[in-house]
Structure 1
Amino acid sequence: MASTACIPPVPAPQGAVGLRDRARGALLGLAVGDALGAPAENMKPSEIRARWGRITGYVAENPAGTDDTEYAIFSGLLLARYGSALTPVDVETAWHEWIADREEGPFRGAGFSERGTLENLRRGLAAPISAQHRHAWSDGLAMRAAPHGVFAAGRPAEAARLVAIDGSVSHEGEGIYGGQAVAAGVAAAMTGAPAVVVVASALAVVPDDSWTARCLRRAMTAAHRGERAVRSAVVIGGYPWTDLAPEAVALAFGAYAAADGDFTDAVLTAVNMGRDADTTAAVAGALAGATRGVDAIPAEWAAAIGPARGTCLPTMAGHHVREVADLLTHAARGVPHGPEGEPRGPESAPRGPEGALPRSPYPPVPDIGTAAEVSS
């Protein structure tokens, strides 16, 4: 069972960063971390040092987000349309209409969990059966979980509920828990909560005896000793794949905690630990960007992030993470967005009778009290 301990509300600090700036910080921070970490993906720290020394900025000639960013945009656009009424049917239909039933980009659906999901959907399997493949424990949900925390700012339990619905098509077990930890952490960070509360919010929504929770606790115990200690405490030595959700999520939170929420330090710590560096840096960037706001992201890093190229998901081409952040901010406030703000990818998402949004079959989940009212 997940912890039921109540986390004390966090008062909004004087001159608090606005909700829109935190939303933009979270999603732009995700894209920046993704682009910084992509060249170091699947590498060991020794290999990173041998090639670049310590990475302190972009090492790619044309830095850009990878599948992590494009899938986060995908989930963000879907959530902006349905909000708290999101259902597994909505998610499954979007996977068909925006990915599975269209021509894929060069990444061909991205990682192992995405490939397994697409193959199952194309065989006619529906959620949750579509998530029954060999990599349902991957960090593929964690990499697209931040938008749920942005939408449910200050409501970690609701963020965790929504991301589990999103993940029901593609993930099971630890894969779901990893996504829930990230979504809840971002939701808490959107209030400007200190790192200890952000981490506690993540732990509160996953089972105490889960692999994800154990890895998170080990990372937090080691965080004050820096990145090498975090990596040693978490990495599954000898395992050939780097996309294990418990490992990747713990490395990301460990980097964030070791940096005490500082954006630059959090992201570079995640990058230089290697392993699934684009995802760990993306998650650390989302957490730190939500905590400190968009202005905490170095200007030269932010400037390099343009609209998605559609390399993995052609239907996401042209969307910018800032656009998605603004859509989610409006959706969270219940503010309708007109034709100019209407998501271009989700135009064919299903609607209920006469265009109404379908009701969620899930009961509302009470919050755990992580945040006070979020300033706008």
Structure 2
Amino acid sequence: MNAEHDPAFDRAHGALLGLAIGDALGMPTQSMPRDLVRARYGRIEDFVDGAADQPIAPGMAAGSVTDDTDQAMIVARLVADGDGGIDPHAFAAELIAWEQVMVERGSLDLLGPSTNAALAKLQAGAPIEETGRYGTTNGAAMRIAPVGIAHTPGERLLDAVVEASRVTHNTGLGISAAAAIAAAVSAGVDGADVPGALAAAATAARDGESRGHWVAGGSIAARLESFRAQARRLGTAEFATFLYEVVGTSVQSQESVVAALLLVERGADDPFAALCTAASLGGDTDTVAAMAGAVLGAVHGAAAFPAAAVHRVLAVNALEPAPLARRLLAVRRSSTEMMR
């Protein structure tokens, strides 16, 4: 089938585009409190430059992506090269090299807390099984979308999520969070609508809780199901306040991943508006918007996002996600054929 007329390719490509667009929309507001975001920007409606006092991305050009997209592209290349698998030592080396490049550029956009701690342990000689035993933040989930593209929903996908998360987020919370995003993306590539993608996310989040090391924390699956019922009753302004004040938009998985999936449901009819809402929330806005964008892109395809936004992000960052989407989809189809 011609890739340009292949619905699965369109959704796989859409997932990578949505991730990058959401990331870039949230770049100028990341790690800022909601009151400051509202005072400075009101509501984010388009790409905005990073202000001089932006805590992570000072002075970055409008449309620039952050670590979410950079690391997702690393995962995409490794998964495509590894026929669906990812070598943890190669992954660790790639992350360390990426951060060094950021340091040399003078960027403040460095590795997150769980990833940084895990890689320090690995460099000190700790075994892979132990390096990520306390990783509960959203680092694994923010970069997991390529794994969802490369695998169909089910046990093999969950195994691949564990493999991709082990070195930095080898906990029930970290894996559950990554599994939720990967499964929603995977279901979208298969043709699921938003309710179908969210159902896949909830199932995978529940299954992922028993993987990795146990850590205390609220269940991502339970929080998602409980908050969905409440969120549906809220108007637009009340919904944004609910996400920020009740669900939470911090780097913790059980906050930001749930917030992203609630935005997916709210944005079923207008994905770009949902990503603008995410970017306007305050907190870990770039990651919340990136995860929501990946799922919405997988469900709706590349046409979910304005052509001007797609062009801007690709041009500013010299991104070419289409070849990676094709390679990941080829891995998915090869794996499916082998199981028949």
TM-score interval for Structure 1 and Structure 2 normalised by the shorter chain:
0.7 to 0.9
Instruction: Give the residue type in structure 1 aligned to 2:138.
Output: D
Cα 1:219/1:190, change in 2 over 3 Å = farther
2:286 to 269, 278, 286: 278
Q: Where does structure 2 lack aligned partners over 5 or more consecutive residues?
A: 50-60, 210-217
**Which residue in the other structure is 1:46 paired with?**
35
Sequence identity (%): 29
RMSD between aligned alpha carbons? 2.8
1:287 aligns with 2:295: yes
- Counterpart in 2 of 1:128? 129
Indicate conservation of the 8 Å contact 1:114/1:170, yes or no.
yes
Q: TM-score, normalised by structure 1?
A: 0.74
Partners of 1:308 and 1:184 in 2: CA distance = 29
Query: CA separation of 1:236/1:178 partners in 2, compared to 1, >3 Å: closer, same or farther?
Result: farther
Quickly say closer, same or farther: Cα 1:47–1:157, change in 2 above 3 A.
Answer: farther
Q: Which has the higher helix share?
A: 2
Secondary structure in 1 matching 2:268 = coil
Task: Give me the TM-score of the superposition, normalised by structure 2.
Answer: 0.81
Say whether 1:94 aligns with 2:88: no
Report the CA distance between 1:111 and its aligned residue.
1.2
**2:236, 2:6 → 1: CA distance?**
28
Partner of 1:105: 102
- Partner of residue 352, structure 1: none
Quick one: distance in 2 between partners of 1:206 and 1:19?
A: 23
The one of 16, 19, 29 aligned to 2:8: 19
Preserved contact between residue 142 and residue 180 of structure 1 (Cα < 8 Å): yes
**1:221 is aligned to 2:219:** no
Alignment deviations for residues 135-194 of structure 1 (CA, whole Å, 9 cap, x no partner)? x110001101111111124x2543332111100110022111100000001111113322
What are the equivalent positions in structure 2 for 1:151-300 lying under 5 Å apart? 151-153=150-152, 155-171=153-169, 172-207=171-206, 211-224=219-232, 225-226=234-235, 228-230=237-239, 235=244, 242-260=250-268, 262-300=270-308
Contact 1:27 1:289 in 2 (8 A): yes
**Any conservation in 2 of the 1:26–1:288 contact (CA below 8 Å)?**
yes
C-alpha distance 138-231 of structure 1, shift in aligned 2 (>3 A):
farther
Distance verdict in 2 for CA 1:70–1:83, change over 3 Å: same
Answer yes or no: is the 8 Å Cα contact 1:195–1:261 preserved in 2. no
Structure 1 counterpart of 2:26: 37
- Structure 2 Cα separation of the partners of residues 108 and 259 of structure 1: 28
Deviation of 1:128 after TM superposition, in Å, equals 1.8
Whole-angstrom distance in 2 between the partners of 1:101 and 1:286: 25
Do the aligned partners of 2:247 and 2:259 also contact (CA within 8 Å) in 1? Answer: no
- Which aligned runs of 4 or more in structure 1 are off by greater than 4 angstroms? 226-239
- 8 Å contact kept, 2:24–2:66: yes
Ranges in structure 1 where 5+ consecutive residues have no aligned partner: 1-15, 310-317, 336-363, 368-376
- Indicate conservation of the 8 Å contact 2:150/2:329, yes or no: yes
Partner Cα distance (2:64, 2:146) in 1: 19
Matched-pair contact (CA < 8 Å) for 1:78–1:91: no
Counterparts of 1:70 and 1:101, CA distance in 2: 12
Q: How far apart are the structure 1 equivalents of 2:35 and 2:96?
A: 38
User: What's the CA shift string for 1:184-233, capped at 9, x where partnerless?
Assistant: 01111113322111111111122388521122123311332245555555
Give the counterpart letter for 1:140 in structure 2.
Answer: G
Q: Deviations over 1:42-84 (max 9, x none)?
A: 2333322211111111112432110000110111111111234
Corresponding residue for residue 56 of structure 1? 45
Is it true that 1:146 corresponds to 2:145 in the alignment? yes
